[in-house]
Chains A and B, each alone.
Chain A
Amino acid sequence: MNMKKIIYIILTLLLTISCSKDDRGVAAVYVPTPAPLQIPQVFSDNILPPIIPPGNPQTLEGVALGRKLFYETLLSADNTQSCASCHAPANAFTDDTQFSEGIDGLLGARNSMPIFNAAWNYDNKFFWDGREFGLEMQATNPVENPIEMHNTWQNAVQALQNISEYSFLFEQAFGSSQITKMNVVKAIAQFERTLISANSKFDRHLLGTYTLTTAEQNGLNVFMDEAAGDCFHCHGNPNNPLWTDNKFHNNALDATFTDLGLGEITGDPNNNGWFKAPSLRNLSFTAPYMHDGRFNTLQEVINHYSDGLQSSTTNDPLMKNVSAGGNHLTPQQKSDLLAFLLSLNDTEFINNPNFQEP
C-alpha cells in the first residue's frame, strides 16, 4: 500500500514535470553527450583516476567548444592573442620563449607552462606558484592579466555573444545560449583535460612494446639512484609516469630570491623560492626550462643539478650535497640521463589532430 502510494506520487510528479515542460515548448532536459576521458593504461595501471570537478563533466560538445575557444583570439582585448599564442601544440602547449609577450608587448617574469595530463594534478593547484585552484579558475586569469590578454571578461564574453555560432555551441555544450565567463572557462578546462600525453618510448617500454637502449636504461638508473641523479623524489618514477609529484620545491637555483614563488602566495617565508615541479615529459618541445626560463638546453639543466646548486635557507632537503654544488655526475652519467629524459618525449601527443586549431 505504501509502495503503491509512493509510485503514484512519483508518477504524478513526473507527469507534472513533463507537462510544465511541454507547456513551455522545451522537448526535454537537454543533456550534452558524455565524453569521459580515455585513461591510458600506463596511468590506470599505476595511479589514481584523474580529477574531474562534479560541476564540469567532460562532454563532446564541451570539449569541442573548449578547443575552439582555446584558439579564439576574441578573448584578448585587441583580438590578436588566444590561449594557443603562449600554449602551442607543437611546444606541448607552452611556447619557445623565456617570457611570453602579451598584447601590449609586455613580458611576464615566468616561463609559460606546458599543458598536458593536467587532470592528474591531484592537488589541483595551477601556475608555478600554485595560486589558482582548478583548471577552470586558472583559465580566468590570462584573459584579464594586463601583461597577457589584457581584456575584461565582460568584453570577452560580449565579443563571443556577438557571434551566432557561439550562441549555438554554448547551447549545445551547456544548454544555454547565454554565454557566461564560467561557461567559457569550463569549456576550455574540458578541452585541456583531454590533452593527455602517455605514448612516449618509455610508456611503450612500460607496456612491453619497446626495449630501452642501453643509454636510456643507464639513464633511468642515474635518475633512480639517490647517490647520483636522485631525480625521482620530485619527478615521479616508472610507477608514477606523470614524471612529476606536482608539489612545490626549492631546487637550489638561487642563493637569494627576486621571485618568491609559493612564498608569495602562502606568506610563509619558508616557502620562498619554491615552485611547482614540472613534468619531465615532452622536454624536447618545451625549452627553455625552469620557472624563469633561465636554461636554454637540457644540458644546462642537468649541469645545474649536478654541479650548480646554490645554498639558501629554504632549500628543499631533497637537494643533496648542495654545499658541494650537487652530486657531480660524470659526463657519461649526464649523457645517459639525457637519453632517458628524451625517451619521455611523446611526438604523437604534439601531433594529435584532435588538439590542433579547429
Chain B
Amino acid sequence: MKKYILLFAITTILFSCTKDDGVDFTTTSTPITVTFTQNFDGDAITVNEFNNLSYTNAHGETLSLTRLRYLISKIQLHKADGTTILLRDYNLVDVTNATNLSFTTTDNIPTGNYTLSFVFGFDEVDNQQNYIPLNTVSWNWPAMLGGGYHFMQMEGKYTASGSTTQEIYAYHMGTARVSTGVFEVNHFTVNLGAVTIAENQNIEIKMNIAEWYKNPFMWDLTQLNNTLMPNYTAQKHMQENGATVFSLGN
C-alpha cells in the first residue's frame, strides 16, 4: 500500500513538473455549450409553434411544421495554427421531441479565438458507419437511395398562394441517387466564422428555415412537396440552399 502511495506521489510530481515546463498559465479551459435554434426569417420556432400555418416562403406558400429533425456532424473549432478540436462527432437535433437542442462538451476547451465549422448530415465516410442511437430513432436512409442516414426530416402542411386547401409536405434530405445504384454525396460543410471561447461559453447555431426555400433556388412547394428522397434534382437544390441556412447567434 505504502509503495503505491509513493508511486502515486512520484507520478504526481513528475506530471506537475512537465506541466510547469510547457503550459502557458494565462490560458484556462472550460466546458462549452452549443445550442441549436430555429427560426423563419427571424421568427423563433420551437415545438410550441408547430402546426400553425404561420410562415410564408419566398415562393408564396404558407406553411407549418409538424416534425423537424436534422443531423449535424464533425462540429469543430479551428485554431489559427491549424489545429482543430472536435466538440461532438454528431448531434441529431430533434425539435419535435425537444431532444439534443443543445450539448455541453465533456472535455474542457482552452479559451481563446477560433473559427467554427460543422458538416450538415454525414460525409461519405461517416455515412457508412452503424450508429445504434440513430437506428433506434428510425433515422436510416434507404439502401436503394445510397443508404446511411437522413440529414433532415422537415414536414408539415402548406397552402398554395391564394388557396385555403391544406396540403402536406415532407422535405427529407440525404444521399442523392443519380440513377439505380449510382449515388452522389449530398452533405455540405458550414463554416460559421470566428468565435471567442470564454468561460462556459454558449455558442448558438441558428437555422433559418426560410433559406431552405429561396437561396439560390426558389423552391415551389406546390411542385416539390413529397417523394423528394429519390428526386435527384430536389436533393441537389436542398444542398445548394443549405449553404446560407446557418449562422451564429449573438
Q: With A232-B138, A237-B142, A240-B136 given, is the CB distance from A226 to B168 under 8 Å?
A: no
**Knowing A225-B230, A240-B138, A322-B168 touch, does A317 contact B144 (C-beta < 8 A)?**
no
CA distance A324 to B227 in the complex (A): 14
A232 CA to B150 CA in the complex, in Å? 12
Contact flags (1/0) for A232-263 with B, using CB distance below 8 Å? 11101111100001000000000000000000
In-complex Cβ contact of B168 among A227, A237, A315 (8 A): A315
Q: A46-B135, A240-B135, A270-B51 are in contact. Are A317 and B155 (CB under 8 A)?
A: yes
Kindly state whether residue B169 has any CB partner on chain A within 8 Å: yes
In the assembled complex, the Cα of A122 lies from the Cα of B130 at a distance in Å of 19
Report how far A270 CA is from B130 CA in the complex, Å: 35
Q: How far is the CA of A317 from the CA of B169 in the complex (A)?
A: 6
Q: Are B168 and A47 in contact (CB under 8 A)?
A: no
| Minimal beta-carbon separation of A227 from chain B (angstroms) | 5
What is the CA–CA distance of A45 and B140 in the complex, to the nearest angstrom?
A: 14
Q: Which applies to chain B's interface (DSSP): helix, strand, loop or mixed?
A: mixed
Contacts of A320 in B (CB 8 A): 168, 170, 226-227
The answer to whether A236 touches B227 (Cβ under 8 A) is no
| 1/0 contact string of B130-168 vs chain A (CB within 8 Å) | 101101111010111000000000011100000000111
A-side interface mostly: loop
Q: What residues of chain B lie closer than 8 Å to A315, measured between beta carbons?
A: 168
Chain B interface size range: 20 to 34
Decide yes or no: A239 and B133 within 8 Å by CB, A224-B143, A317-B66, A320-B226 being known contacts.
no
A313 contacts partner chain B, Cβ-Cβ < 8 Å: yes
Interface residues of A, CB < 8 Å — how many?
A: 31
Is the pair A317, B157 in contact by a Cβ cutoff of 8 Å?
yes
Q: How far is the CB of A324 from chain B (nearest CB, A)?
A: 11
* Docked CA distance A317–B156 (Å): 6
Interface residue A179 (Cβ < 8 Å from any Cβ of B): no
In the complex the two chains form, what is the Cα distance from A117 to B99 in whole Å?
24
Identity of the chain A residue whose Cβ is nearest the Cβ of B167 in the assembled complex: A323
Q: B67 in the interface, Cβ–Cβ < 8 Å?
A: yes
Task: Check: B32 CB closer than 8 A to any chain A CB.
Answer: no
Query: CA–CA, A117 to B140, complex, Å?
Result: 20
Q: Does A199 interact with chain B (Cβ within 8 Å)?
A: no
Chain B residues near A226 (CB-CB < 8 A): 142, 172, 226-230
Q: Once bound together, how far apart are the Cα atoms of A116 and B166, in whole Å?
A: 38
Is the CB–CB distance between A225 and B144 below 8 Å? Answer: yes
User: Is residue A198 contacting chain B, with contact meaning CB distance below 8 A?
Assistant: no
Closest Cβ of chain A: how far from B170's Cβ, in Å?
5
Q: Given the complex of chains A and B, what is the CA–CA distance between A323 and B227 in angstroms? A: 14
What mask results when residues 155 to 199 of chain B are scored 1 for a CB within 8 Å of chain A, else 0?
111000000001111101000000000000000000000000000
Q: A226-B142, A317-B169, A318-B170 are in contact. List 11 more A-B contacts (CB 8 A).
A: A45-B130, A47-B135, A47-B136, A232-B142, A234-B138, A236-B138, A239-B140, A313-B166, A315-B168, A317-B155, A319-B168
A-contacting residues of B (Cβ < 8 Å)? 50-51, 66-67, 130, 132-133, 135-138, 140, 142-144, 155-157, 166-170, 172, 226-230
Q: Report which A residues bind B (CB closer than 8 A).
A: 45-48, 122, 221, 224-227, 230, 232-234, 236-240, 245, 270, 313, 315-323
